[in-house]
Structure 1
Amino acid sequence: MAPGMRVAVTGHRDLSSSTSELVDAAFRAELAAHAPGLVGVSCLAPGADQIFAEAVLDLGGAIEAIVPAHRYDRVLTPGDRAAFDRLLCRARIVVRLPYEHPTPASYQAANETLLRDVHLLLAVWDGEPAQGRGGTAEVVSDARRRSIEVRVLWPEGASRTGHP
């Protein structure tokens, strides 16, 4: 990756705490050689997106945030909302989509915006099919269709809460 490399992220929200640590290490290993000119593009959702954003910022990169809907923060738990707000304040660019409430359509639009002008998609994905529009599997498929390089990060021992 060259300086100014634009990297997007997609991934599961429901990562176990040990998986969050594994994913953080995997992000940092993928991104370290490309800092500090790295630009991370993220919707700042809980889980993979927030872990990615923290890693990009810690490595001296910049964040571009995509907010799927005006009331997106209202669907977050208080802890997730605090992290979202903190990361949003640190974003160099914030793109707010024109949806009032988060819906599958707003998430799909956010993912289309996410993939615009990126060189690489890092996907924290267990390989399972999408559970609805705008899910991780769908973003991976869309990126591949657009000939965007995709690297799937699912470290050995990774798990999702509530999944086997």
Structure 2
Amino acid sequence: MTGTSSNVPGLVFTVAVTGHREIGGGLEDAARKERETQLRGTIARVLARSVETLDTLQPASPLDAPRGRQLRFLSALAQGADQLAAEAALDLPGWQCEALLPFAPDAYRQTFLIGDSALDTASQDRFDSLLPRMHLTFAIDDWRWSQPVAEGYGSNSGKTAMEERHWRARRYATVGDMLVRRADLIVALWRGTPPGGLGGTADVVSQARRSGVPIVWINPDAPEDVHSITPDPRTAHLPILEVARRVTNEAPGESTPGGSGMDR
């Protein structure tokens, strides 16, 4: 946190991540790990350049110049994009990292078991490693499904399984809503694919655009492919929009329009 006047509330800059759970799918293990390293590097550069831009813009604002500053990073810690981004933020100085979980941690980690592959087990191990490192954890702990999760979305059949899938989707949607409401900037690891259902990344991006939250769009299959997505101009927070543009080196008018859809 930077220095602050005791009479002026501090400035809080919050970045949230959304993105695909599958990163580097189809790649050999070594290539997948290299892709993850590249993506962590890109995310770290986005966060670092955000701070550099704030260092430039804040002193120029009579309102914000005397204020201290706090940097916050939000992640749901799902496998894939959420975990990669959390790792990148935790390795940078000055960022307070928070986990927003749709279920209690023990139940949530079960949802990572898409089959019995080592990769899925690794996602659980990663989650277990990241959670204690987060500065704050908020979990929506008001529901448990009736049986342990298997094959990704539960081992129940019939009506119960459908109800549980729907309830999980609603919980993901709730967390997505929380991310957008708190974020000044969204980092989205997105292939540009259409929605995969309620509560996925598509909902987060679409809601962010409607709510005026700028988005830095990183292609997870091409880590150096970074763009800004301009939100609805009627709701956009112009100073933060400038942060997104400077982070991606895009001039006004060059922002990628972006679709409303992406799968989780």
Q: Give your verdict on TM over 0.5.
A: yes
Contact 1:7–1:40 at 8 Å: present in 2 too?
yes
- 1:5 is matched with which residue: 9, 13, 16? 13
Alignment-derived partner of residue 110 in structure 2: 74
More off after superposition, 126-135 vs 27-36: 27-36
Query: Which portions of structure 1, spanning 4 or more consecutive aligned residues, are displaced by more than 6 angstroms?
Result: none
Q: Measure the CA separation in 1 of the matches of 2:185 and 2:84.
A: 17
Instruction: Return the match for 1:28 from 25, 34, 44.
Output: 44
Determine the C-alpha separation between the residues in 2 that align with 1:56 and 1:95: 18
Identity %: 33
User: Is the 8 Å Cα contact of residues 23 and 220 (structure 2) preserved in structure 1?
Assistant: no
> What letter is aligned with 1:134?
G
Match of 2:187 among 113, 122, 136: 122
CA distance in 2 between partners of 1:122 and 1:99 (Å): 29
Contact 1:65/1:94, CA 8 A, preserved across alignment: yes
| 3-state secondary structure, aligned to 2:87 | helix
| Distance apart, 1:100 and its partner CA | 2.4
TM-score, normalised to structure 2's length?
Answer: 0.55
1:94 aligns with 2:137: yes
Paired position in structure 2 for 1:44: 77
> 1:46 aligns to what SS in structure 2?
coil
Q: Which residue does 2:22 correspond to in 1?
A: 14
Shift of 1:156: 6.4
- In the other structure, the counterpart of 1:143 is 208
User: 2:41, 2:176 → 1: CA distance?
Assistant: 24
Q: 1:114 to 1:99 in 2, by over 3 A?
A: farther
What's the counterpart of residue 162 of structure 1?
A: none
1:133 to 2:202 alignment = no
CA contact (8 A) 2:18 2:82 kept: yes
CA contact (8 A) 1:68 1:106 kept: yes
Question: Residue type matched to 1:64 in 2?
Answer: E
Task: Give the Cα separation in 2 of the matches to 1:136 and 1:19.
Answer: 20
> 1:30: Cα distance to partner?
0.3
Cα deviation for residue 37 of structure 1 reads: 4.5
Q: Relative contact order: is structure 1 or structure 2 higher (C-alpha 8 Å, sep ≥ 6)?
A: 1
Deviation at 1:52, TM superposition (A): 0.6
Structure 2 residue runs without a partner (length 5+): 3-10, 25-31, 53-68, 113-119, 146-166, 224-264
| Amino acid aligned to 1:56 | A
Deviation at 1:155, TM superposition (A): 5.8
Instruction: Tell me the distance in 2 between the aligned counterparts of 1:37 and 1:85.
Output: 26
Match of 2:128 in 1: 85
Instruction: Tell which structure's C-alpha radius of gyration is larger.
Output: 2
1:157–1:150 CA distance, 2 compared to 1 (3 A):
closer
